[in-house]
Copies of this chain bind each other. A is one copy, B any other.
Amino acid sequence: MRRNPQVAEATVYRLSRYLQSVQRLDADAVGTVSSSEIGRLSGVSAAQVRKDFSYFGGFGRPGVGYSISELRQHLARILRVDREQRIVIVGIGHLGAALAAYPGFQQRGFRIVGLFDSDPTKIGITLAGHRVRDVEELPALVEPLKVSIGAIAVPARSAQAVADKMVAGKVAAILNFAPVMLEVREDVVVKNVDVTRELECLAYYLPAP
Q: Are B13 and A201 in contact (CB under 8 A)?
A: yes
A191 sits at the interface (CB 8 A): yes
Contact of A204 among B3, B104, B108, B202 (CB under 8 A): B3
For the complex, count residues of A whose C-beta is within 8 A of B.
58
Measured between beta carbons, the chain B residues less than 8 angstroms from A31 are: none
Q: Are B191 and A105 in contact (CB under 8 A)?
A: no
Measured between beta carbons, the chain B residues less than 8 angstroms from A53 are: none
- A2-B205, A85-B203, A203-B81 are known contacts. Are A93 and B104 too (CB-CB below 8 A)? no
Instruction: Report A167-209 CB contacts with B as 1/0, cut-off 8 Å.
Output: 0000011010001010000010101010111111111111101
Assembly of this chain: how many copies? 2
Contact of A78 among B108, B191, B204, B207 (CB under 8 A): B204
Contact segment of A15-23, A66-74, A158-166: A15-23
- In whole Å, how far is A37's beta carbon from the nearest beta carbon of chain B? 14
Q: How far is the CA of A206 from the CA of B207 in the complex (A)?
A: 40
CB nearest neighbor in B for A181: B43
